[in-house]
Structure 1
Amino acid sequence: MKISTLILRSMRKNIKHYYLYFFALIFSSALYFSFVTLQHNDAIDQLTQSSIKAGAGFKVGAVMLVVIVFFFVFYANQLFLKRRSKEIGLFQIVGMPKSTISYILALENLLLWVAALVAGILIGFLFSRFFALIFLKIIHVDGLVMLDFSFIALVQTLIVFAGLFIIVLIQTTWVVNRSTLLQLFHTTSNSEQKMKKMNPIQLILGALGLAAIVYGYFLSTTIFNINESANENTLFIKMGVVLASVIIGTYFVFRFSIALIMNAIRSSKNGHLSLKDVLAVSPIMHKMKSNALSLSIITILTALALTVLSLSSITYYSIGAQIEQYTPYDMSVANDEGSAFEKSLQAKEINYRTDYYELLNVPIDFTPVMKNEEAKQASKGNQYSDTIVLKESDVKKKLPSISLNKNEAYILGYNSIFQKIMPLEIGNQMKLRVNNSIKHLKLIGVEAKNSVPSEITYGGKKTIVLSDQLFNQIKTNKQILKQTGWRTYTGYTIINSEQMDKAISLYKKTTKGGIFTTNSKGDFAPERQFSIKSEAYKHSLENIGLLIFVTGFLGLAFLLATGSILYFKQMTEAEEERESFKTLRKIGFTTDEIMKGIRRKQLFSFGIPLVVGVCHSYFAVKSGWMLFGTELVIPLVVTIGIYMVLYSIFAILSTKYYRKIVNDSLPQ
């Protein structure tokens, strides 16, 4: 028989094993080709107006996609080699050299990969326009994208998948040459673990695994705590310890804890196992040794994907709130320099509203209102800091709920990051210094929003609201006036949004592009360009929209890799258990009775990695979400919900495959 005939017959025989692998290769190549097509599309760069950042983002995403696809292909090929181990053994028994076996498997893979690449590239090209429209929808850009077939993307895709194919060939050759006939015919039984009694060492390791995860979770909640010994490396050390403890703990839990729990459940039955126990508990317990590493990797990958997706979703969801916090008005004018702008608005009959603020720079000591002793120690020696103070009547235009007595104060612009790192004690008294006199101010509230833009507060620092009486009293001090760079500020709100573009054009023309100069000679940055709210929003939307798009692609790839690997594993185990199902059917058990136990097993195989991964992701996101946005619950719930729904599709497919195997086992 010719080798070509043998290859064709072998592929026809194994088509039921290859179809999902083939589909996954097509999907991977299509996803990658679509991604790099967008990466090399000039229209996308022109529409986003941020080609440098977009190019960098796409390059990082492309590298991550290669890593994910490599992991998936390597692991999937390992599973398929395991399923065909007996076939490889039979080839050796009939006298076929290992080099010839490797050659046959290489040709089979070559045919499979070439067909998958051709189909994937065609599908990827067809869907690249769809992905481009999604990208533009995310960044709120209206435009028509014309996508031509990119030969650069084609070459890049062929190079990447050629490299992956070479790795698969090396892996295949290694398995064929290193495996003995005994290993090939007993590959399943070699991986099983029988635990007749609880080993004290394994019990200790299982407990340590749970303890390591709990410790990692606890440490993640204190990762931003400040203390006297903290330095620039403390955060990275804590992050490393959290990562190591969670990863090691996850492996120990899957390797020891779960198997021991299952063994305890079986022992509690005193030998009276139901069919559900036989089909669920026993297989899980016996195969934890071989499954521990793969389940741990899948759990960590799931946690990583959910964390990245959740943080990017939080950032995207919080764009509006963050822009409102740092740029509260459509346009801004400082130090009473807005007369020309107002005249131009009136001449063009553009309706607008103004909010006028008086400002002062006053030294204030916040140490008495700090909750953490560590934060107080960190600020020792430099308690007083120049802070912009506002008048209550001015702030009421934006925040009407504020009400102050003479010696009371309210803090604005104290966002979630500051509230996490340096929480404040409401009711305590701050110190305000005017020349040599000290005034005590009772803190009655804190607000994340601010009434003045970040350009005035020098990067979004907090401001203080004082009563009109106290503000006017301080304003008479010549030293305070001398050190105040921004004495007034006017915020403009355009009533009709359709006139916004015209108003922006007038603003840039009459204010030299929104550049204003401070009154203080000692100011380290005497000139500042004030942001326009709509342009700041658009710029943030482009950058964060790109992040959402790239992480969405990566999340889809993670989902495909982890879900497919679990499905492949369940297909393999279903084939291995075929004889057991046949025996159960012969003695009278129905398909529905057998499927009850199998569903329990599927719930574990797919549910436990997902649940543990969600827990890992939740604590990872909760520890630092405030660095990425202003809202946690909604983006986190939506992201996890969508991921779980898509992930469950693989569990449903796996259960259906088991049902097919059980139905086929019915004796004729």
Structure 2
Amino acid sequence: MLLYENLILSAVVLAAGIGVGTLLSKLFGMILVRLLGMGASTSVGLGLSLEAAGNTIAVFALIVLATSLHSYRIIYKFSLIELFRADKQGEPAPRVSVWAALAAALLIAGGYVSALQEIHTTEQFALNMGIALVCILLGTWLLFRAAVPALLAAWRSNKSRYYRGTAMIGVSQLLFRVRSHVRTFSMIALLSGITLGIFSIVYIQYYFAERSTTESRPFSYEHASVDPAFDEAVRHVIDADKGHPVVSHLSIPVVELDASLTNLRDIPIHYYSFAEPGKTVSILSASAYNEASKALGRRETVRLAAGEAAAIRPMLDDQTYAEYAGQSLELRMEDENRALPFVALLEGRVLSWRFPDLFAVVDDVTWSELAKTAAPTVFEVYRVEGQEKAGVTADRLNALAADREDVRLSTFYAEYKRTQEESGLFLFIVGFLGLVFLAATGSMIYFKQMTEAQADIGRYAVLRKLGVSRRELRRTIAWQTLFVFVMPLAVGTAHGYVIMKVFTAGLVGMNFTIPILLSMGAYIAVYSVYYAVCVYSNDRMLNPA
């Protein structure tokens, strides 16, 4: 009987799911096209993929087989009379332990502290994340196992609130059923936290796609000058684009030194550990930096006395000037070693990102002396209007430099398009999977509440006969259901926020308020819909008119 029931229900649900999925395929395709920034000209058709349908049927068959075997194991474990009387058996009162509740709070707090610590090495990252994972897993399980019963027991000990209205009914039901919710709540909180954290990370990357591109590609076009003919060809292509006129054009000379000619590896700033021999350190003059900063519309400038230096903060780092105070940049020149103390940390980069991201600014006199010992590389940079839409010109420049590795051409549009497409694709995948996870976890709570409501029909009928009004019963149902939904929602939100903070630590200087509120708002909105439907269904079942 159970096998036939599973097969019939599964066939109906599977057919309905494939049908609804086919109808929604165009909608999701349009969302994907929108996220990738392909524009309204890209058409999306409606169709059924036989391969996708076959994979869905295969996965669904495995799920049905697993659930059937699990049901068989439960059924054969008990006798028939025990199964008929299962809903008559109450649950034992949970043991309330203040120490266990305190241990849960300490474990979760310790996991958060370990995860949010400043990390400098891969080994430290692996160790901290391992400790955080173990602490959060155990803390979450112990939270619902001990802390929630302790909270309900404390509520019950407050006699004035416990005996007010129908509070006694809701608190007693939650307290005696909390043991059956431990695994469900723990799993929902952990899955929701992971889903929310990953979705927030991807959405933040998509939300700040243009800003991150602006940091890695400050100018619209940039290339190393190799010969006058190529420079002129590039200028001709850019000037020919009348739809994106040139705002500024500069020539920025840069002295590129081998890392072995500096002491950067000896400076106790973790990013400079990448300054290995064979890697280059780019040094700009103060006047060139200020001119480029002005061309970019920035207010940041630098003033250096003779023998002083300023560092440009690496893009993927959160360094502060406090790490540079008292440190010096040593230049190992042919006839002498010159130490230039760091007097400032500049936030805005003026040349495109490359690895290792080692840029420094020195005073003009020192730079002129360096230029005599090492021939500078001149970078031609252009800033144009509407650079995020200058795809045609960017393609023409890339074709022009296709066989020239020495020109080191970079364009804002190519990087912006790549970042938007990658983050948009990840956002679509993570958002879709996140929606599935949220729907699954919300359904778990909903059907568990419906099952418990079915067993409570007789008890609520007695309460109505004793004179409890429908309004009081509806209020009890509402806040009791709210407690069940809010607990895993709150814990999952906290876990997700910590995950987001860990993996966005390198995105310095960005305000995450809007993307976080949007992602968490979508998360809460899904659960709010489930909550409203659950309250409505329980009220109709337990509190009929």
Q: TM-score, normalised by structure 2?
A: 0.87
Residue 552 of structure 1 pairs with residue 448 of structure 2: no
The match for 2:288 among 391, 394, 405 is: 394
Aligned to 1:157: 56
User: Using the alignment, how far apart are the partners of 2:160 and 2:143 within structure 1?
Assistant: 25
1:511-526 to structure 2, matched below 5 A, reads: 512-513=401-402, 515-517=404-406
User: Using the alignment, how far apart are the partners of 1:191 and 1:233 within structure 2?
Assistant: 50
Superposition deviation, residue 287 in structure 1: 1.1
| Structure 1 residues 459 and 147: alpha-carbon distance in aligned structure 2, compared to 1, 3 A threshold | farther
| Structure 1 residues 242 and 366: alpha-carbon distance in aligned structure 2, compared to 1, 3 A threshold | same
Superposition deviation, residue 607 in structure 1: 0.5
Superposition deviation, residue 386 in structure 1: 4.9
User: Using the alignment, how far apart are the partners of 1:114 and 1:469 within structure 2?
Assistant: 80
Counterpart secondary structure, 1:275: coil
| Kept after mapping to 2: 8 A contact 1:602/1:655 | yes
Aligned to 1:82: none
User: Using the alignment, how far apart are the partners of 1:628 and 1:471 within structure 2?
Assistant: 31
User: Using the alignment, how far apart are the partners of 1:219 and 1:178 within structure 2?
Assistant: 43
| Kept after mapping to 1: 8 A contact 2:119/2:125 | no
Residue 287 of structure 1 pairs with residue 181 of structure 2: no
Aligned to 1:587: 466
Aligned to 1:63: none
User: Using the alignment, how far apart are the partners of 2:502 and 2:2 within structure 1?
Assistant: 48
User: Using the alignment, how far apart are the partners of 1:381 and 1:494 within structure 2?
Assistant: 33
Counterpart secondary structure, 1:193: coil
Counterpart secondary structure, 1:461: coil
Between the aligned residues of both structures, percent identity stands at: 22
The match for 1:655 among 528, 535, 545 is: 535
User: Using the alignment, how far apart are the partners of 2:174 and 2:390 within structure 1?
Assistant: 63
Counterpart secondary structure, 2:133: helix
| Structure 1 residues 265 and 145: alpha-carbon distance in aligned structure 2, compared to 1, 3 A threshold | closer
Counterpart secondary structure, 2:253: strand
Aligned to 1:84: none
| Structure 1 residues 260 and 190: alpha-carbon distance in aligned structure 2, compared to 1, 3 A threshold | farther
Aligned to 2:254: 359
| Structure 1 residues 639 and 258: alpha-carbon distance in aligned structure 2, compared to 1, 3 A threshold | same
User: Using the alignment, how far apart are the partners of 1:661 and 1:293 within structure 2?
Assistant: 26
User: Using the alignment, how far apart are the partners of 2:492 and 2:405 within structure 1?
Assistant: 51
Counterpart secondary structure, 2:204: helix
Write out per-residue CA displacement over residues 156-203 of structure 1, whole angstroms, 9 at most, x where no aligned residue: 2221212222223222322222222453244346562315x75xxx33
The match for 1:308 among 198, 204, 220 is: 198
The match for 1:425 among 301, 316, 323 is: 323
Residue 443 of structure 1 pairs with residue 343 of structure 2: yes
The match for 1:340 among 233, 238, 258 is: 233
| Structure 1 residues 418 and 499: alpha-carbon distance in aligned structure 2, compared to 1, 3 A threshold | closer
| Structure 1 residues 578 and 387: alpha-carbon distance in aligned structure 2, compared to 1, 3 A threshold | same
Residue 608 of structure 1 pairs with residue 487 of structure 2: yes
The match for 1:184 among 83, 90, 95 is: 83
| Kept after mapping to 1: 8 A contact 2:313/2:345 | no
Residue 530 of structure 1 pairs with residue 409 of structure 2: yes
Counterpart secondary structure, 2:323: coil
User: Using the alignment, how far apart are the partners of 1:651 and 1:220 within structure 2?
Assistant: 32
User: Using the alignment, how far apart are the partners of 1:347 and 1:555 within structure 2?
Assistant: 46
Structure 2: 5+ residue runs without aligned partners?
none
Moved more, 242-251 or 595-604: 595-604
| Kept after mapping to 2: 8 A contact 1:306/1:640 | yes
User: Using the alignment, how far apart are the partners of 1:610 and 1:294 within structure 2?
Assistant: 12
Task: Kindly provide the amino acid, as one letter, of the partner of residue 211 in structure 1.
Answer: L
Superposition deviation, residue 609 in structure 1: 0.6
Counterpart secondary structure, 2:18: helix
Superposition deviation, residue 340 in structure 1: 2.7
Task: Kindly provide the amino acid, as one letter, of the partner of residue 119 in structure 2.
Answer: N
| Kept after mapping to 2: 8 A contact 1:311/1:628 | no
Aligned to 1:317: 207
Write out per-residue CA displacement over residues 286-342 of structure 1, whole angstroms, 9 at most, x where no aligned residue: 111111111111111110110111111112122212222222222222135412322
Counterpart secondary structure, 2:222: strand
User: Using the alignment, how far apart are the partners of 1:499 and 1:446 within structure 2?
Assistant: 29
| Structure 1 residues 515 and 533: alpha-carbon distance in aligned structure 2, compared to 1, 3 A threshold | farther
Counterpart secondary structure, 1:405: coil
User: Using the alignment, how far apart are the partners of 2:275 and 2:289 within structure 1?
Assistant: 32
Aligned to 2:363: 467
Write out per-residue CA displacement over residues 17-61 of structure 1, whole angstroms, 9 at most, x where no aligned residue: xxxxxxxxxxxxxxxxxxxxxxxxxxxxxxxxxxxxxxxxxxxxx
Structure 1: 5+ residue runs without aligned partners?
1-103, 518-527
Superposition deviation, residue 124 in structure 1: 0.9
| Kept after mapping to 1: 8 A contact 2:162/2:168 | no
User: Using the alignment, how far apart are the partners of 1:382 and 1:149 within structure 2?
Assistant: 54
Aligned to 1:112: 9
Write out per-residue CA displacement over residues 89-126 of structure 1, whole angstroms, 9 at most, x where no aligned residue: xxxxxxxxxxxxxxx22222222222222222121111
Counterpart secondary structure, 2:529: helix
Superposition deviation, residue 595 in structure 1: 2.4
User: Using the alignment, how far apart are the partners of 1:411 and 1:191 within structure 2?
Assistant: 69
Superposition deviation, residue 555 in structure 1: 0.7
Counterpart secondary structure, 1:419: coil
Aligned to 1:139: 36
| Kept after mapping to 1: 8 A contact 2:161/2:167 | no
Q: CA RMSD, aligned part only?
A: 3.1
User: Using the alignment, how far apart are the partners of 1:320 and 1:586 within structure 2?
Assistant: 64
User: Using the alignment, how far apart are the partners of 2:454 and 2:388 within structure 1?
Assistant: 65
| Kept after mapping to 1: 8 A contact 2:35/2:424 | yes
Task: Kindly provide the amino acid, as one letter, of the partner of residue 360 in structure 1.
Answer: V
Counterpart secondary structure, 2:379: strand
1:226-265 to structure 2, matched below 5 A, reads: 226=120, 232-265=122-155
Superposition deviation, residue 215 in structure 1: 0.5
User: Using the alignment, how far apart are the partners of 1:652 and 1:499 within structure 2?
Assistant: 44
| Structure 1 residues 514 and 648: alpha-carbon distance in aligned structure 2, compared to 1, 3 A threshold | farther
Superposition deviation, residue 253 in structure 1: 1.0
Aligned to 2:311: 411
Task: Kindly provide the amino acid, as one letter, of the partner of residue 45 in structure 2.
Answer: M
User: Using the alignment, how far apart are the partners of 2:113 and 2:200 within structure 1?
Assistant: 20
| Kept after mapping to 2: 8 A contact 1:329/1:491 | yes
Write out per-residue CA displacement over residues 370-403 of structure 1, whole angstroms, 9 at most, x where no aligned residue: 57xxx59x95998998521112222223344213
| Kept after mapping to 1: 8 A contact 2:25/2:47 | no
| Kept after mapping to 1: 8 A contact 2:474/2:543 | no
| Kept after mapping to 1: 8 A contact 2:286/2:303 | yes
Task: Kindly provide the amino acid, as one letter, of the partner of residue 394 in structure 1.
Answer: A
Aligned to 2:111: 216
User: Using the alignment, how far apart are the partners of 1:445 and 1:302 within structure 2?
Assistant: 40
| Kept after mapping to 2: 8 A contact 1:203/1:257 | yes
| Structure 1 residues 384 and 341: alpha-carbon distance in aligned structure 2, compared to 1, 3 A threshold | closer
| Structure 1 residues 625 and 508: alpha-carbon distance in aligned structure 2, compared to 1, 3 A threshold | closer
User: Using the alignment, how far apart are the partners of 1:419 and 1:558 within structure 2?
Assistant: 33
| Structure 1 residues 381 and 389: alpha-carbon distance in aligned structure 2, compared to 1, 3 A threshold | closer
Task: Kindly provide the amino acid, as one letter, of the partner of residue 25 in structure 2.
Answer: S
Counterpart secondary structure, 1:438: strand
Superposition deviation, residue 533 in structure 1: 1.9
| Structure 1 residues 345 and 658: alpha-carbon distance in aligned structure 2, compared to 1, 3 A threshold | closer
Write out per-residue CA displacement over residues 596-635 of structure 1, whole angstroms, 9 at most, x where no aligned residue: 2322212210001101111111112112213578553322
Aligned to 1:521: none
Task: Kindly provide the amino acid, as one letter, of the partner of residue 414 in structure 1.
Answer: P
